[in-house]
Structures are given as structure tokens and as C-alpha cells.
Structure 1
Amino acid sequence: MAPKVLVVLTSQDKIPANGNPTGWYLPEFAHPYDVLNGKVELTIASPKGGAAPLDPGSVQMFANDPVASAFAKEKQSVWSNTVKLSEVKASDFDAIFYVGGHGPMFDLHSDPDSLSLIQQFAEAKKPVTAVCHGPTVFLKATAGGKPILADAKVTGFSNVEEDQVKMSEFMPFMLETELNKVSNGGYVKADEPWGEKVVISKVAGTGAPLITGQNPASATGVGKEILKALGL
């Protein structure tokens, strides 16, 4: 039996501060999907279920990325009918993966169903994983009564990268700053903005694998580390 991986996408389609479209970020799903598809069984979920919004800016930005552009054109069925998070059972899966994009900063960050799932995965010692803005989902998450990031190494979209895409003023908080705070100084990043950085750590108290990637360039690496964590 192939391991089962739950992929979680945002349902947030607008930036509250300016009304601009947002959603999940194309290469951060396309590249891990390319790595995982066929080796694991994938179930795609989102807070609201149904069609999960793809950030249109990411489609333009990665038009020259063959994996991302093929995924956008050919795999719409993958994200057009997602399962509702509240209907998902952690016990049915072997790992959970959160795709980034600015959307998760507004919905998944504090979504009670998401936080409950993360706790259940972590307490069952199953891999909890995310890329780019995806690690925002771990900021409020706990397992065994402790923040799951306590004293862990973690990465996610950096403050410099947020500044460079001119989105800092529209964010509810700066992800790097908060990840560093909750992990007690455990935030790490690539030497240069936009460089690949994948961090493998453990959830405090449970020892569950904690896998995070900094940015779009890190998405493939996160997919590969998920396979390794599942023994594939």
C-alpha cells in the first residue's frame, strides 16, 4: 500500500488589506506534486472545500517553469474539488503537507480544524511539513501541550523576500519574525534571498519529523524530504 499524504491548500482568495487576488502559490504545489505523485496517494483539502484559489500572479511568474505551467494547464481537477478540512481524519494519513502562498497567512494560520490536524499528526509521530508561507500554520500549533515549534529549527518565507515582493505592508505579521520567536531563535534561511533552503527538524515533545522549506525554490526539496520521511 502506498503511503497517504494529505495536502492542504488555502481557501483565501483576496488580500484583506488591498483586495488583490491571492491563494496558493503554483510552484509550491506543482513541484512537490511532481515528486510525490505516483509514489504516494494524495488527498487535497482546504478549509472551505471545493475549488481552492490559485494565486494568478504565481501563474504569470512561473509561466516559463515547465513543471509549474504544465500543472496549471493539465491538473486543474486536482485543486478544483478539494475535501473540506473538517471532514478529514488524521488517522487516515501518513503525512501532512501545507502549500504556501499568501493565502495561508489569513485562513490556515488560525484555522481550528487545521490546528487540530497538526496536533494529531505530530502526536502520532507523523511528518508535518510546509513550504514558503505554509509554515504559518505551525505558529499556533501545539502537540503534547507544547508549541510544536518550541526549540525546533524551522524556515519559511523571509522578511527580505517579503520586502522584495512588496507585500510586507499587507501582511498581518512578518512570518520570519514570528517563526523565530515561537521557535526560540530556531529560524534559519538560505545565504541569499530566493535560495533553496529545506530544514529537517523534530516536533518538541513528540519527535515527529518537521520539514519546512523557505520559498518556491525549496518546494521540490520538501517533496523529496517527505518521501524520505515516509521511507521511500
Structure 2
Amino acid sequence: MSSSSDIDGVMAGILAKHLLRSGIDIDDDTKITSYLEMHAEEIFMEVLQSGEPDLIKQLAQKITSKGKKESITANNSNKPPRIPEEQQEKYDAVTTLTDDFCKERLDEEYATICRTVTGKLARKKDSKFSRGKSDIWAAGIVYAVGQMNFLFDSSFEPYQSADDICGFFGTSKSTTSQKAKLIRDSIDMNNYWDPEFSTSRMMGSDPFKNLRINENGLVTR
């Protein structure tokens, strides 16, 4: 079975090949988004022919469940997460830090996603969330959310580098990146354009946003 990193690598390779073949300016985010939207079906068919069953299954689940998931996310977006009593103090400490960073460097949308991630970590029964320094958890959470939203890409807005995040929280880049990977793996935050972990700008660039699989198994817009 392919790992999540293998699947992401195949997907990234397919997208990169299409963008390079198109000849568009890869520094122009608007043109990239437009190209992906126009060629979504073509890219999807190439994924189907990639011979990666896990990737195909992942994309099929994403397309068929998107409407339901977006609805659930919308309905719950204003509801604060229920935090176990024993994790409340740690949750408050970490979200105070992530809120401060997002207020100063990003926006409220990023702050909300970071609080969602922190809540998921706090609610996990086997979570290591209760251990470790709050600043490292906060840095890792912002880093992980940033990775899923192209925060480190200077062609996107808002933009912050890994050094910016680590400098703000006073953490090392290696420790922060390792913590971010632990966080993503712990709560299955490894799929780009996942409505639960994506900003509205990121969702707007989703090349598969208009695709659905009908009752006959055909891809439709």
C-alpha cells in the first residue's frame, strides 16, 4: 500500500508536469489557478491512469464526500471545540499563542483553522498534546496549517516563511518541522484542499472543486 507521502508525491508530480507543459508563468498564481480549473478533468483522468489505487481511492472519496464535508464544516465553523477538562489549560495556552501569531502575521481564517487543529489534538485519547512546550506545539500547528495552504509560497497571500514562524515562537526549524509532521499524521491532515484545514483562498484554487462522480461512476462537472 502506498504511503501518504507517496500519494502526495504522485499528485504533485502530475500537477507539476501539467503546469510545466502548459508554458504558463509559474509565478503567476492567478494563471495557475485558472489553468487547473480549466484542465481539472484532464488531470483527474491522468490520475486514474497513474496506476496508484490509493491515490485514485483518495480522490474518489474527496469528490463524492466533498458536499457533505463542506456542509458539516460550515455548520460547525462557529461552534467551539469541546475540550477535555484535563487538556483545557494546555489548549488555552497553545491557542493564545497561535491567535497572537495569526493576528499579527496572518488573519482570522488561519486563526480559526489553528484552533480547530489544536482542538483535535487535545481531544485525541492517545495524543502527546499534554506533553511538551506550548510554544513548540503552537509553532508546529501554524507550520502544519501553513504547509497545507501554501503559506511558504511567496506568490500566495498571506505569506510567511518557515523562518518567520520559528523566529516568532523562538523554536528551531528542525524541531518545528518535525512537530508539524507529527501533527499532520496524528489528525490525518495530509490532503490538500481538505475543507476542514483549508482557507477559502486555497479552496478556490482546488482543481477538483467542480468534479463529481455520478451514479454511473462517470466524472462530471
* TM-score calculated relative to the size of structure 1: 0.32
Q: Which has the higher helix share?
A: 2
Q: Rg larger in 1 or in 2?
A: 2
Higher strand fraction: Structure 1 or Structure 2? 1
